[in-house]
Amino acid sequence: MTDNEHETGRPERRRPARVIGTPLSDTPFSGTPFSGAVASGIPDAGDVDHGLPAVPGVVPQDERKARRAERIAALCFTLAFAALVAFLVAYVRFQVGGLSATGASHVALGGTLTLALLALAAGIVIWVRQIMPKYELVQQRHPMASPEDVRAEVAATFVRGTGESGIVKRRLLRRTLLLAAAPLGLAPLVLLRDLDSSGVPAAQLHRRLGHTVWGEKTKDGRPLRLVVEGTGQPIRAADFNSPGGILSVVPQGYEHDLNVLAKATVILVKFRPEELRAGTKPNWTHDGIVAYSKICTHVGCPAALYEQTTHHILCPCHQSTFDAADGARVVFGPAARPLPQLPIGVDEQGYLIALGDFPAPVGPSYWERGDAEARARENGGHS
Amino acid sequence: MSEPRTVPERIAGPATFLDDRLGAGGFVRRNIRKVFPDHWSFLLGEIALYSFVILLLTGTFLTFWFKPSMGEIVYNGTYAPLRGVTMSEAYASSLQISFEVRGGLLIRQIHHWAALVFIAGMMAHALRVFFTGAYRKPRELNWLIGVVILSIALFEGLTGYSLPDDLLSGAGLRVTQGVVIGLPVVGTYLNFFLFGGEYPGGDVISRFYSIHILLLPGLILALVTAHLILMWMQKHTQFPGKGRTNRNVVGAPFYPAFMAKSGAFFLFTFAVIAALGTFAQINPVWLYGPYSPADISAGSQPDFYLAFLEGALRIMPAWEINLFGTSQVGTIPLSVVIPALVPLGVIVVGMALYPFLERWLTGDNREHHLADRPRNNPHRTSIGMAAVAFYGVLWLFGGNDIISANFRISLYTTTWAGRILVFVAPALAYAITYRVCLGLQRSDVAVLAHGVESGVIKRLPNGGYVEVHSRPAEDIEAHLRGKEPVPVLPYDETVPPKGLRGPLGRLRLRMSRAYGGEKVPPVNGHPHDEDGQAALQEGQNRALTR
């Protein structure tokens, strides 16, 4: 739909200049509502002289308008040039470094680049719309399908070529070729096996998901201490004594091991003993301090938000909500299982330690997980 | 300066050189004046194309500094708040690009904005093609290529925004891992193969890097090229109108008008994205800090194009089944698998199959080069709007925590609203769109039968007042008359044809008759140009436009 600025004929009868509900006469759906005469796209020969032969569907612009447009387009291009020079100057003048210096350089470079692109684009649009002719060229389409005789010839040639190759007649050739091709396709897949560099047989991979470092001991055979995430401070049970308190906790010695943190991070909540309910294993707590896996059982985000009044642990990713006072059972959201509870106690110096691993795999579910909670109950607490 | 009468020597020389060696003259002769029809909605795909070009340019720039490594270093750069913090080299080099490379922040932000515009442009383009039926024969293959490009682009985006290894991108990676590991049977293996071991391992950034900068963009580039070649070969569709038929194409020639317009449009797209990159901050990774699987910030959201998956994860109820109880096999976390696979599957597979399903239902094997107006195929438009509503609800509830916080609605209420709306909204959208389409068709019929309202009130000799209706502009009339009934399978009440006898055949016939046919009969005559006539038919007119 090329924009055609039709010269509407003078209406024969008194009518409104523009019919309400129809577009303005210079918009694509222009027309001549009353006279019925439409500029067919054939230029009026005497109208303009471009030195070009008149072609149907090509309506040259009025030379006076075009000359004005040329000046505007030239202004745009000059502006773009100036903006690009400013871009180069800004690159040299503004050094990056601190926040404000980088900010200044960023705005100067981006601003000049934007201006240059915008001015260039505007200039070209003015060129196309006001200097180039209005086009309404017509081209014929042809059916996509090849003519029948071409198809027949291709088919005949194909059959002939196939016959010459002997692939149909020579069965032994064909079958051994297919035989050879099948393993060739498998080779790249086999090569990808070492994408997994854990060094564990494939059938054993899932066993690694079921354990965390909390089940291990330090070099001198002592249970791992719970330390505060970030500071690495061990936690003395007597100091973590305000009910409603919460800590994000990691195993001592692994504070910066992301692979360990992805499974072993724990959320520590302090309760008054009477607040705890049946879901929480009382002998895995210490003086009202309960430890749950911080890794959400939905897809593994850290369930980091805690609401003191309701004892709810909330995962900010998908809003799975767990009741910390009741074994972190699921209260709401897409998580299907409670956050596993970590058995904790204190060492002789009064610091919190892990008494063992989680009873069930932490984090998101996987095919080989099975009902690990029920399994743990059957085995008396541990999986 | 006067217009040149012959090709200047500077161009003729190289052209001759090339033609002597390539024989390209015939191709250029056929194509230099190739006609491109003009409509604003035909530019949506161009936005996506130009954004992709910008992505390639800016992405190449970023690779010169980015270090795709999860090796840990202590940050020692110019951004003071993070100095002394242990972080991955990937994150440190993202900070370096942002603060220590001149124009680095600008290019990074342009790259991110261009990615959003790329996918948004493709989505808008796909909707335009769908609603106008431009995917019909002979363009089904190009439609399929487009669907594949869009799907790949989602993964391209995912691998891209995971690279900086900041806390937000890490949250996205963690969700990806939780989904991957939950896939039945293969999940654990995929997890170990993707991450090189347990999450997060030390390999995923470098692997995502080669996927993001080589594998997927290479595929997209190849498919985009094929997409453009097919578009060129098959010629662009056009809307019905005066002089425009199924056998021709009317518009501006490639050289010079379309070329110049496209160049200008590329520059406009670039200018808008550059302005966004300059003035609209996006993904300020330095504020998030390095990734740790132990930390998260509230309000973590993916980029907009993955929000529908995020929303699906959020509104899904907590369903999980253990096929074999306590034995270590057979866990299917439906609360992860369904939202991860079903919405994406419904949309992508639905898009891919639609041209073929429609052809099966309508039995329409003709070539179509005239774009439908969406109202003229009401069932298709309604199905499309239902899909948009389905996607839109999931997208919206990908931010239900933000909705909850800003509008002070209980979080759980928003989740329940999502669970209900995901079924209700598409049904409502279908019903409403269908009525709107029919209403618009009736309004077209009224315009053709009675003309357009002129705004002139006329007093009749008998004292009554009427509004004068006048004939619509000629090309508007041609546009309206371009409507074609949706084809229906040929049928005979008594003896159905062979293929339509079984239960599937009968269902096909019934669906065909519901889908196709003329819902609002067209008018044959021309609109009345006489004021009085229009007035006399006022009653009928009102019935038609209501």
Q: Rounded mean pLDDT of A19-39?
A: 42
Fold of A210-378: Rieske Iron-sulfur Protein (2.102.10)
Which of A356, A348, A105 has its CA nearest to residue A223? A356
Q: Which residue of B has its CA nearest to A116?
A: B271
pLDDT tens readout for residues A244-284: 889 999 999 999 999 999 999 999 999 998 899 999 999 99
- The answer, yes or no, to whether the previous bond of B138 is cis (omega within 30 of 0) is yes
> Within its chain, how far is the Cα of B88 from the centroid?
35
The neighbouring-strand residues paired with A291 are A268, A342
Q: Do A114 and B278 touch (CB under 8 A)?
A: yes
Residues in B 166-195 with any Cβ partner in A closer than 8 A = 171, 174-175, 177-179, 181-189, 191-194
What's the DSSP call for residue B419? H
- What is the 3-state secondary structure of B76-132? CCCCHHHCCCEEEHHHHHHHHHHHCCCCHHHHHHHHHHHHHHHHHHHHHHHHHHHHC
Confirm or reject contact between B77 and chain A (CB < 8 A): no
| Rounded CA separation B126/B134 (Å) | 10
> What pLDDT, on a 0 to 100 scale, did the predictor assign at position B495?
73
Which of A49, A79, B263 has its CA nearest to residue A71? A79
**H helical segments located in A234-340:** 258-264
Q: Do B474 and A31 touch (CB under 8 A)?
A: yes
| Rounded CA separation A123/A72 (Å) | 7
| Rounded CA separation B24/B32 (Å) | 11
Q: Encoding tokens for residue A29?
A: 């759906």
Q: Exposed, middle or buried: residue B507 (CB in 10 Å: 0-12, 13-18, 19+)?
A: exposed
pLDDT tens readout for residues A179-201: 999 888 888 888 998 999 888 88
Q: Do B103 and A320 touch (CB under 8 A)?
A: no
Q: Do A121 and B271 touch (CB under 8 A)?
A: yes
pLDDT tens readout for residues A110-133: 999 999 999 999 999 999 999 999
For B102, which of A20, A105, A365 is closest by C-beta distance? Answer: A105
Q: Which DSSP string do the residues of A55-74 spell out, in sequence order?
A: -TTEEPPPHHHHHHHHHHHH
> What pLDDT, on a 0 to 100 scale, did the predictor assign at position B382?
97
A62/chain B closest Cα distance in angstroms: 16
Confirm or reject contact between B294 and chain A (CB < 8 A): yes
Residue A218 has a CB neighbour count (10 Å cut-off) of 13
Confidence band (pLDDT; 50, 70, 90) for A381? Answer: low
Confirm or reject contact between B65 and chain A (CB < 8 A): no
Q: Do A209 and B188 touch (CB under 8 A)?
A: yes
Q: Do B103 and A91 touch (CB under 8 A)?
A: yes
pLDDT tens string, chain B, 546 residues long: the values are 567 788 999 999 999 999 999 999 999 999 999 999 999 999 999 999 999 999 999 999 999 999 999 999 999 999 999 999 999 999 999 999 999 999 999 999 999 999 999 999 999 999 999 999 999 999 999 999 999 999 999 999 999 999 999 999 999 999 999 999 999 999 999 999 999 999 999 999 999 999 999 999 999 999 999 999 999 999 999 999 989 999 999 999 999 999 999 999 999 999 999 999 999 999 999 999 999 999 998 888 899 999 999 999 999 999 999 999 889 999 999 999 999 999 999 999 999 999 999 999 999 999 999 999 999 999 999 999 999 999 999 999 999 999 999 999 999 999 999 999 999 999 999 999 999 999 999 999 999 988 888 888 989 999 999 888 888 888 889 999 888 899 998 876 677 777 777 888 889 988 999 999 888 887 766 554 444 444 444 444 444 443
Residues in B 335-394 with any Cβ partner in A closer than 8 A = 335-336, 339, 367, 369
For A300, which of B72, B177, B455 is closest by C-beta distance? Answer: B177
Q: Do B314 and A138 touch (CB under 8 A)?
A: no
Q: Do B336 and A334 touch (CB under 8 A)?
A: yes
Q: Do A319 and B243 touch (CB under 8 A)?
A: no
Confirm or reject contact between B198 and chain A (CB < 8 A): yes
Which has more confidence, A48 or B145? B145
- What is the 3-state secondary structure of B317-364? CCCCEECCCCCCCCEECHHHHHHHHHHHHHHHHHHHHHHHHHHHHHCC
Residues in B 204-223 with any Cβ partner in A closer than 8 A = 207
Confirm or reject contact between B241 and chain A (CB < 8 A): yes
> What pLDDT, on a 0 to 100 scale, did the predictor assign at position B518?
87
What's chain A's Rg over C-alpha atoms?
A: 39
Confidence band (pLDDT; 50, 70, 90) for A53? Answer: low
> What pLDDT, on a 0 to 100 scale, did the predictor assign at position B3?
72
> What pLDDT, on a 0 to 100 scale, did the predictor assign at position B490?
83
Judge whether residue A41 has pLDDT over 60.
Answer: no
> What pLDDT, on a 0 to 100 scale, did the predictor assign at position A22?
52
Q: Identity (one letter) of the amino acid at A155?
A: A
Q: Do A121 and B99 touch (CB under 8 A)?
A: no
> What pLDDT, on a 0 to 100 scale, did the predictor assign at position B491?
75
| Rounded CA separation B134/B143 (Å) | 9
Q: Exposed, middle or buried: residue A150 (CB in 10 Å: 0-12, 13-18, 19+)?
A: exposed
> What pLDDT, on a 0 to 100 scale, did the predictor assign at position B524?
66
Element (H, E) at B54: helix B44-63
**Measured on CA atoms in the order B533, B536, B538, B539, is the torsion positive or negative?**
negative
- Residues of B with CB below 8 A from A140's CB? 247-248
Confirm or reject contact between B97 and chain A (CB < 8 A): no
Q: Rounded mean pLDDT of A144-158?
A: 96
pLDDT tens readout for residues A59-77: 999 999 999 999 999 999 9
Residues in B 299-338 with any Cβ partner in A closer than 8 A = 299-300, 310, 313-320, 322, 324-333, 335-336
> What pLDDT, on a 0 to 100 scale, did the predictor assign at position B1?
56
Q: Do B335 and A301 touch (CB under 8 A)?
A: no
- Residues of A with CB below 8 A from B80's CB? 98
